[in-house]
Structure formats: C-alpha cells, structure tokens
A = this chain, B = another copy of it.
C-alpha cells in the first residue's frame, strides 16, 4: 500500500493494527547515496567498530527516500501467512518557519540507479511524509512552550508577568524606535486607532515589512492599545510577512484567540512528527524486525527517526538494542552454514529464486486485496515494500528449511523458535569474510589477523613491488591504505610466523609491522586516525578541495586498483558495495569460520 503525506494520517491506524497482530516485521529502505566519499569505502579488514564509524561518518548524511514495511501474520488454521506491504514515501519538509531545515547528501550514481528503476522523485519531494527525530521533537516542544509564555506576557497589560516566564522576561526589554522608523510606526498606530474606532472590518492587514520593523510594531502597538486588539503574523501570496490586526471585544476573547493559535501550533507539531510515529510503533511492538543486509538500513532508521548516531560504538549497540530489541539479517542467515552451502548468491533477488525451490520451502502467502498483489518476478525489485516483502519470504523459507533439519522436524518456524536465536541481533558485514557478524547484543568476534602485516614504503612502489617483497611466503592480498602504506595478507597463513624475522631488517626503504602491533600502537583505540580512515581524510581533504568533491580520491584509488592493468574501465567500483553486485574480490580469499 502506497503511503504519502496525503493519506498518512488515515492509514496510520491500519499500520498500527498490522504491526500489533504480526508475528514478525520486515523492513527495507531506499536512500539517496552510499558513501560521502571514497575514503569511507569499506575494506575487507575493517573491524565491526571501524565499519560502524565509516557508516556513521560516510553514510548518515544521505536521506531515506522510501521505507518499506511488510508485516507477516501466521494463520494456524490455513497454515498461511498474511502479508501487508506498506510503501512509505518520506521527506523532511520543514513544517514551519521554525522547523529544522534539513540538509542532505545525494550521490549521482545512486540517484541514477533509482531513476533507472523508475523511482518517482516527484512523489518523494511533493508528497513525502514529513518526519523529525524524537530529539528534534522535544527541542521544538520546549521552544513552543517558551514562545507561548511570551504570548502570555504580551497579551497581559503588565509588561512583566509574575509567572515562571518572569525571569526570561525581565532580562529582556523594549528597544527604542530608531529615528528613521518613528514616522512609519506612528502611521501604523494611527491606522490601528482608526480601525478600532469605526465598527467595520474584523481584521486590518498592515503593510508587509521586515522582522525588525515588525518587532517595533508589536512592541509599540501593544503598549498603546493594551486591550481590544490582537496581533498575529501572516504571509502574503508573495511570501512576504505582514502583521494582521484583529479587533478583540474582551480579554477572554483575546485569550481564546491565543488558545486557538497555540493548539493549532501543537497540532502542527504532531503532524510534523509524521513517519517517526511508525518507527515508534515498530519499536513499541518489540517484535522481530527482519531486513536483508540491513546494517545501513538500521543506521538510517536510527539516525533519521530516533536521534543522531552516537560517536561511541557501544552506545550505538545500546541504542539499536533499545529501539529495536529483536532484529534479524537474512543476508547473514544466507551466508551461514548450512544455508550458505546451498545458496550460490545471497543478493536479495537471487536469494528469493534459490529459496523458492527444494530443499527450501517457501511459505504460502495471502495479501489482503487492499494491498498490491505483488508477483514474484523482478518487476518491483528495489521498491522498498516489495523488497521487505520478499525478505520475509526468504526468511520463512530459510527458517523452515532449518526447522526441517531438527529432530523432530519443525513444520513452521516462528520467530520465537530456538533455531532463530543464533541469528538475532547480529548484522551481516559486507566484504568482511573473517568476521562472521556484528553482534548488537554482545562483544564482537575478532579473529586472529596474524597473517596480516602493515607495510609503509616509497611512493613509487606499486603492487608488484609488494608481491616481490612477500614472494618468499607465496601469494598475498594487498589492501591499500594510501600511496605509501598498505595491509598485506598472506594466503598461506602458516607462513606468518617467519615474515617479521625475514623481512624486518632486510631493507631500509620499507617498514613492516604486525597487524596487531599496528592497531595497538594507534593513539586512538577507535583507530579513526589512520590514513585510510574517515576523520583523517576529512582533515586532509579541505586543503586539496571542497569537502564534498570526491572525484580526486577516486582517481587516486583507480591507479592503484589496476594491477595488472585490465582492458576494462577501472574496477575500483568493485571496492564499493552496491545493491546489485555484492560479490567481492576478497570473499574467497579467506575462509568463513564455521561457528
């Protein structure tokens, strides 16, 4: 079901019902880009913590355009699932002149990809459901209350009111009307006086003028006409601001008018919370939230609808756990034995095909007729709600397959089944093949990297120089950090022990140390100070170019990525995860530990 600003409030109750009756929920998001710059590209040697920092710094400035939610409810009688796919278009339209005016980043290739999929950008920008984070909401509430106190102060004849707002008030005071404005202000007072004398129009619109002059008008008019008049700002068709004067019979009428205005403002803020309400419903339900390769989705959902991502990695885990107490990543499930051995590809579209035939048992699914009757061809792929829908199908197919391996076999596996537990609150890590997952509920598994070495060398060195250097130990895999340093990983791990002793003092042009020593030697445990890491690049880039210009780094990394040169366009895009090709050149170079 398509949900936009137009039908959001009317559909919300149905969303709430669907969430509350569901056995599990599936989510997917479409966003405006992947990496703010190539310096945030993921590496096969990232630790989960380093990966988080890359996502936080390099991805959280992109915007979520579309959120797909598909609820799955199992029906014991007919052994079928009822699926309700909701497709939310979201956009942070500033709800008022006081609201936060969000800046967000777009990546041309991502926008172009969405465009090629027929994504409707006009719908996002013109009908997107607004949203603000919970943090922003409370800040706005405070400001509104402060403002309402100020109204109160002004609507009473006394300049200083004895209420809790008094302190704020006494520290402020009127400005003297500058010479050049005196005539204008006098003119205004005169017109207000005439307006009040003759019973006729109920409103008087003052000429548009700038904020400073409006302040003078409020101040002066309120002092001259202590009752019988109400002032409020309006915007004319040219978006110019002007003051509207309204005739007030009694103080009560005055208070009433302001009461109305204030409750209208509160309603406006309620509306501004918008899509964040859906995330709260998901959170409050405490139900299993399933996603495919969902690390980035999770980061965006938290950052855009809850509050800014914490700098501290442990705080991030705590925040995620607190907002979404139970999550499951189908890409992790698909890349873990025994499913792994039966699935040639875990790209979502492929996964659906592979899990739809034996030994997997896709579930029977019913979609209520007021929802889109999705076909399982690729026609809707990359529509958030469809992706959430097929994620749910893959999840049940894989769980039921695992259930079938039990003794006795489980006919239909539901989220509370014990065989699901090993997968909960663990995130798949793209390209990292020696770390099984990011563990939101505990400490991460950090493997031995004794076969990895950090080497610094002359600028002129290229890949072959490093292959040459390490030739005594067989083939190596190089992870470039910059022009003068790289991680070198041995394929033959048993050779690791002799590397340091053999290479250490053979040559003065290069410097080599173990991966472990390099890490521990770092000033910053979060290792965000290393050449290839985010912050340091942030510091370096502005010298060379404007913060967001990321062409140069691409060029740099290109010359590295072609060794030996290939008769194709450069391959450095291979270093970049994208929703279509999740294969990685490292995938097969390490063994995934059987855990």
A positions within 8 Å CB-CB of B: 32-33, 36-37, 56-57, 60-61, 63, 91-94, 96-98, 100-109, 111-112, 114-115, 120-122, 124-126, 136, 139, 143, 147, 150-151, 153-155, 168-169, 171-176, 178-181, 208-215, 218-219, 231-233, 238-241, 308-309, 347, 349-350, 460, 462-464, 467-468, 474-475, 491, 535, 538, 542, 545-551, 554-555, 558, 561-571, 573-574, 578, 580-581, 583-589
A580 touches B239 (CB 8 A): yes
With a cutoff of 8 Å between Cβ atoms, the chain B residues found around residue A491 in the complex are 178-180
Provided the pairs A175-B467, A218-B566 are in contact, do residues A538 and B546 lie with their beta carbons within 8 angstroms?
A: no
A563 to B563, CA, bound (A): 64
How many Å from the CB of A537 to the closest CB on chain B? 12
User: Which 4 residue pairs across A and B have the least CB separation, nearest first?
Assistant: A212-B585, A211-B571, A100-B551, A233-B568
A-B contacts besides A139-B555, A215-B566, 13 pairs, CB < 8 Å: A37-B103, A93-B108, A93-B112, A104-B548, A106-B106, A112-B125, A122-B122, A147-B567, A172-B463, A213-B585, A232-B568, A238-B580, A239-B578
A103 touches B558 (CB 8 A): no
How many Å from the CB of A124 to the closest CB on chain B? 8
How many Å from the CB of A157 to the closest CB on chain B? 15
Contact for A103 among B91, B106, B210, CB less than 8 A: B106
Contact for A172 among B462, B548, B571, CB less than 8 A: B462
B115 touches A125 (CB 8 A): yes
Q: Please list 10 pairs of residues, one from A and one from B, whose beta carbons are closer than 8 Å in the complex, sorted by A's number.
A: A91-B112, A100-B551, A102-B108, A103-B107, A105-B106, A121-B122, A210-B587, A241-B574, A241-B581, A308-B549
A180 touches B565 (CB 8 A): no
A166 to B551, CA, bound (A): 28
A104 to B121, CA, bound (A): 16
Most buried by B among A143, A474, A587: A143
A125 to B119, CA, bound (A): 10
A106 touches B109 (CB 8 A): no
B103 touches A548 (CB 8 A): yes
Contact for A475 among B102, B111, B176, B211, CB less than 8 A: B176
B546 touches A309 (CB 8 A): yes
A571 to B235, CA, bound (A): 13
B464 touches A210 (CB 8 A): no
Most buried by B among A32, A125, A240, A491: A125
With a cutoff of 8 Å between Cβ atoms, the chain B residues found around residue A564 in the complex are 172-175, 215, 218-219
A109 touches B122 (CB 8 A): no
Provided the pairs A121-B125, A122-B122, A180-B588 are in contact, do residues A546 and B308 lie with their beta carbons within 8 angstroms?
A: yes
Contact for A218 among B37, B91, B567, CB less than 8 A: B567
Contact for A583 among B209, B546, B565, CB less than 8 A: B209
B546 touches A56 (CB 8 A): yes
A171 touches B238 (CB 8 A): no
B546 touches A60 (CB 8 A): yes
Provided the pairs A112-B94, A232-B567, A239-B581 are in contact, do residues A589 and B101 lie with their beta carbons within 8 angstroms?
A: no
How many Å from the CB of A251 to the closest CB on chain B? 16
B122 touches A126 (CB 8 A): no
How many Å from the CB of A164 to the closest CB on chain B? 15
Provided the pairs A179-B491, A308-B545, A565-B147 are in contact, do residues A100 and B554 lie with their beta carbons within 8 angstroms?
A: yes
With a cutoff of 8 Å between Cβ atoms, the chain B residues found around residue A168 in the complex are 565
Contact for A61 among B176, B181, B208, B546, CB less than 8 A: B546
With a cutoff of 8 Å between Cβ atoms, the chain B residues found around residue A566 in the complex are 150, 211, 214-215, 218, 233
With a cutoff of 8 Å between Cβ atoms, the chain B residues found around residue A151 in the complex are 567
B106 touches A104 (CB 8 A): yes
Residue of B nearest to A63 (CB): B106
A108 to B136, CA, bound (A): 15
Most buried by B among A153, A551, A555: A551
A581 touches B108 (CB 8 A): no
A548 touches B122 (CB 8 A): no
A96 touches B567 (CB 8 A): no
With a cutoff of 8 Å between Cβ atoms, the chain B residues found around residue A103 in the complex are 33, 36-37, 105-108, 548, 550
How many Å from the CB of A198 to the closest CB on chain B? 25
Residue of B nearest to A168 (CB): B565
B173 touches A467 (CB 8 A): yes
A109 touches B115 (CB 8 A): no
Contact for A210 among B91, B109, B583, CB less than 8 A: B583
A108 touches B122 (CB 8 A): no
A547 touches B546 (CB 8 A): no
